[in-house]
Structure 1
Amino acid sequence: MSEDLDWETLDAEIAYTCPGFDVVHEDVRLPDGTETDFDFLREGDSVVVLPVTADGEVVVIEEWRQAVKRVNRGLPAGSMEAEDDDPAAAVDRELREETGYEAEEVRHLYTAEPANGYADSVFHYFLAEGCEPSATQELDFNESIRVETTTFDDLLADVRSGEVRDGRSVVGIMYYALFER
């Protein structure tokens, strides 16, 4: 019985927009009748890919992340775009663009709302198997990415040691380690 917890949106507007996300301002009515406002980040759906080569190596990327001022090591990921008819299509595109690899088979692992208290972000996690370096890396103008491969066990050890700190990547790696291996 969720209706006793539901908020009613009275009005909404985009307070700020930039490439990648919007900040939405809403006027809302709480279940007890109180009227207030609420702001959240509108990012939408993204895919996070655990790409595995035919010989069992995991394809990982190193990418500069300006917000934390360091190189981030993790899994390829990216936003779904208008032409992506489903998340699996976005997986193929993001994997090819960020790494130059293409997968023989792609399968959904898990879907998460990583920060639903202040963002509408949805991450669709996929396992991409049989990955081969058969495409050309096509980075966005603001991406600086280096591609490498590693064993899953080494990647998992890097999560445990804190070397891999990207939350999107950590969730996908841990999910695979706990439920799919």
Structure 2
Amino acid sequence: MDEDDLRWETTDSAVDYTCPGFDVRRDEVTLPDGTETDYHYVDEPAAVVVLPFTADGDVVVIDEWRQAVGRVNRGLPAGSMEDDDGDVEAAARRELREETGYEAGTVSRLFSVEPTNGIANSAHHYVVARDCTPTGSRDLDFNESIRVSTTAYDDLLTAAITDALHDGRTITAVTGYELRERDADT
């Protein structure tokens, strides 16, 4: 069976709802068996997630109010890519600076994922930033409530694997880094 046997045909597409950060899109589709139906999903721009290390090997983390779950979540700097970013690395540098006030010495791509491709078309691009230094200047969006701190990488990893950390992007970044990069760093 090849992909064409599974492909849905999109016959129409429209935005049903729009708000800052994402749209809810409705596609009219024909399924492989000929059934016509509609399919709703979140339509949002690609995002970057930054795993930022200081020169001492600590990780710059944020504590941010998350209205959808009604609590403060510990996480990593992350946000939507913007048209004038140019590339993933530039977007990562911008998000790191805006949310934390840190500048990265170097930035390198880690991996990319589609975290919820059953309900959203989002793509998350993960990067590692090294030799991050504080500048003290942030530029938060009007609806961001963020506190910045640093933590030992091993403490963040422990939180990720013991259910003490709940932010999915952060858990993905830390475990992905652990599997792909950490051994190469030692």
TM-score by length of 1: 0.98
Do structure 1's residue 16 and structure 2's residue 11 form an aligned pair? Answer: no
1:105-158 deviations in Å (ceiling 9; x for gaps) = 000001000000110010000000010002501111111101101111010111
CA distance in structure 2 between the partners assigned to 1:73 and 1:162 by the alignment: 12
CA distance in structure 1 between the partners assigned to 2:148 and 2:87 by the alignment: 25
Deviation at 1:163, TM superposition (A): 2.1
Deviation at 1:51, TM superposition (A): 0.1
Deviation at 1:160, TM superposition (A): 2.0
What residue in structure 2 maps to residue 145 of structure 1?
Answer: 146
Do structure 1's residue 125 and structure 2's residue 139 form an aligned pair? Answer: no
What residue in structure 1 maps to residue 40 of structure 2?
Answer: 39
Preserved contact between residue 51 and residue 103 of structure 1 (Cα < 8 Å): yes
> Relative to structure 2, which stretch is displaced further, 78-87 or 44-53?
78-87
5 Å matches for 1:56-67? 56-67=57-68
What residue in structure 2 maps to residue 93 of structure 1?
Answer: 94
Preserved contact between residue 57 and residue 150 of structure 1 (Cα < 8 Å): yes
Q: Which runs of 5+ in 2 are unaligned?
A: none
CA distance in structure 2 between the partners assigned to 1:160 and 1:2 by the alignment: 35
CA distance in structure 2 between the partners assigned to 1:160 and 1:6 by the alignment: 37
Deviation at 1:96, TM superposition (A): 0.1
Q: Which runs of 5+ in 1 are unaligned?
A: none
| Structure 1 runs, 4 residues or longer, greater than 4 Å off | none
What residue in structure 1 maps to residue 137 of structure 2?
Answer: 136
Q: SS at the partner of 2:47? A: strand
Identical aligned pairs, as a percentage? 58
Preserved contact between residue 103 and residue 132 of structure 1 (Cα < 8 Å): yes
TM-score by length of 2: 0.95
What residue in structure 1 maps to residue 7 of structure 2?
Answer: 6
Q: In the alignment, residue 177 of structure 2 is paired with which amino acid? A: Y
CA distance in structure 1 between the partners assigned to 2:90 and 2:164 by the alignment: 30
* Alignment length (residue pairs): 181
What residue in structure 2 maps to residue 180 of structure 1?
Answer: 181
Preserved contact between residue 96 and residue 135 of structure 1 (Cα < 8 Å): no
